[in-house]
Amino acid sequence: MRPDRFAVLVTGGAGYIGSHAVLALLEAGWPVVVLDNLVTGFRWAVDRRARFVKGDAGDRELVPALIESEGIGAILHFAGSVVVPESVADPLKYYRNNTATTGALLESAVACGVRHLVFSSTAAVYGDAPSVRVDERMTPSPINPYGRSKLMIEAMLADVAAAHPLNYCALRYFNVAGADPLARCGQSTLGATHLIKVAVEAALGTRDGIDVFGTDFATPDGTGVRDYIHVTDLAQAHVHALDLLIAGPGESHTMNCGYGRGFSVLEVLAAVERASGQAIARRFLPRRPGDPGALIADNGLIRACTAWQPRHAELDAIVGHALRWERILTERQMAIG
Ligand SMILES: NC(=O)c1ccc[n+]([C@@H]2O[C@H](COP(=O)([O-])OP(=O)(O)OC[C@H]3O[C@@H](n4cnc5c(N)ncnc54)[C@H](O)[C@@H]3O)[C@@H](O)[C@H]2O)c1
Ligand SMILES: O=c1ccn([C@@H]2O[C@H](COP(=O)(O)OP(=O)(O)O[C@H]3O[C@H](CO)[C@H](O)[C@H](O)[C@H]3O)[C@@H](O)[C@H]2O)c(=O)[nH]1
């Protein structure tokens, strides 16, 4: 505990990335309050040392009351809708639950004098980037409503920080994967579409196999290349971002979160086969609409601005932890029947 410190509100703290961030904050000594409406998250995923409140991040009565009663001085804002194809089919859901909800959260934060906010942005803001390695100076150009809903929030944050005594870090996550190395939590999302999650499900037989979307990209083996970041390293980046906001002279930052290297779909499948000892059946299909061939983070900025030190960057570690968590989930589901 850091009794001299305020408490941190974690919206979406019952979700995949938020639940890992809660662990990182607790381990760094922060008192933590989680606010989550449980639309995709799980109450059991929240560490018992954190206070849990079920509710909406955009609730203009609940949030100010919570900020006042819990002594909240900073917000880590993970709550949102995250599925790209769904955002294409139902864009207004994304402008409501991402953009409008964050607007309401910011109103509460400003009204109550919250000074710091760390926001979950995404590499999806870059869209079809003109180069494989992207840095924060590139003009964002999202190609789907999900990315646009997040870029609108980045713009809103910049305006709010210019007008009020609140600074922020917008962290643009690349491809988040893996699970807590101590197996306390992991990705439990139902019907997930992320490659590593889908591949470990296929290895454990909870799905038949995997579709490989596109074999004709300008990449070494023709399949899509991504910068997979271990969720625990990403969670740690949030603790460093918070420290940066507190220490700094009120500046705000927009920073990539990735390792600066990429793996193809086939390399990921080979890693999952190595870790599980199971062959994964695959179908080769055309490209998914809107998929860039390769997307890799330039992470020079976060490395220069913070003391962030990735510890789990090896693909085998990311896949191994994801697989172990998937086994735990499968066993739990079998126990429930
Ligand atoms: N998973 C990725 O690869 C990835 C990549 C880039 C950015 N992000 C961003 O990171 C954040 C967390 O994503 P995740 O993968 O952990 O997703 P997730 O669905 O597991 O977590 C989101 C959490 O927010 C909660 N929630 C949603 N809307 C809410 C609301 N209005 N009020 C309160 N709680 C609400 C959900 O119940 C869930 O617990 C999201 O903002 C997402 O856009 C994720
Ligand atoms: O079943 C699958 C799933 C994925 N892929 C391929 O695997 C790669 C990674 O795909 P994911 O769906 O795991 O992730 P995306 O790169 O499409 O997008 C993810 O990372 C982005 C940032 O890089 C955004 O944050 C976005 O929200 C998040 O879903 C892509 O080449 C994709 O075509 C397959 O071949 N088969």
pLDDT tens, 234-260? 999 999 999 999 998 899 999 999 999
pLDDT computed for residue 335 by the predictor? 66
Distance 205 CA to ligand 2 centre (A): 21
Question: Is the pLDDT score of 16 beyond 90?
Answer: yes
Residue 133 Cα to ligand 2 middle (Å) = 16
33 and 148 in a single domain? The answer is yes
Nearest CA to ligand 2 atom 12: 194
Q: Taking 90 as the threshold, does the pLDDT of residue 267 lie above it?
A: yes
Candidates 294, 162, 320; CA nearest to 154 is: 162
Q: ∠ at Cα 242 (160, 233), nearest 5°?
A: 125
> Does residue 1 lie within any of the structural domains?
no
pTM: 0.97
Q: Is 159 exposed, middle or buried (0-12, 13-18, 19+ CB in 10 A)?
A: exposed
Question: Does 16 sit in the ligand 1 pocket, CB within 6 Å?
Answer: yes
Identify any residues that bridge with 230 across adjacent strands, giving them in sequence order: 177
Does ligand 2 have an atom closer than 6 angstroms to the CB of 105?
A: no
Which two structure tokens, joined as six digits, stand for 270? 């080979």
- Do 118 and 206 fall into the same domain? no
Q: How many domains does the chain have?
A: 2
Catalytic residue numbers read: 146
182 domain residue, yes or no: no
From 42, 120, 175, 268, give the residue whose CB has the most ligand 1 atoms within 8 Å, as the site to mutate.
Answer: 120
Q: Which atom of ligand 2 is nearest to the CA of 198?
A: 1
CATH number at residue 212: 3.90.25.10
69: phi then psi, degrees, rounded to nearest 5: -70, -30
Residue 188 belongs to some domain of the structure:
no
Mutate to test the pocket of ligand 2, among 86, 195, 287 (most ligand atoms within 8 A of CB): 195
29 shares its domain with 166: yes
pLDDT, averaged across the chain: 95
Residues 87 and 166 in one domain: yes
Q: Which domain holds residue 112?
A: 7-177+228-257
The pair of three-digit structure tokens given for residue 234, joined into one six-digit string: 């990403």
Q: How many CA atoms lie within 13 A of 12 on its CB side?
A: 24
C-beta 145 within 6 A of ligand 2: no
Q: Is the CB of 168 under 6 A from ligand 2?
A: no
Of the two residues 302 and 143, the one the predictor is more confident about is 302
Same domain, 270 and 128: no
Q: Within this chain, do residues 264 and 253 fall inside the same structural domain, yes or no?
A: no
* Contact present, 308 and 236 (Cβ < 8 Å): yes
Q: Tell me what percent of the residues of the chain surpass a pLDDT of 70.
A: 98
Domain assignment present for residue 205? The answer is yes
pLDDT at 141 (0 to 100):
93
Question: Which of the ligands is closest to the CA of residue 170?
Answer: 1
Residues 213 and 146 placed together within one structural domain of the fold: no
Q: Among 25, 33, 29, which residue's Cα sits nearest to residue 5?
A: 29
Secondary structure class of 111 (helix, strand, coil): helix
Same domain, 44 and 119: yes
| Predicted pLDDT of residue 249 | 85
Look at ligand 1, atom 7, and give the residue with the nearest C-alpha. 122
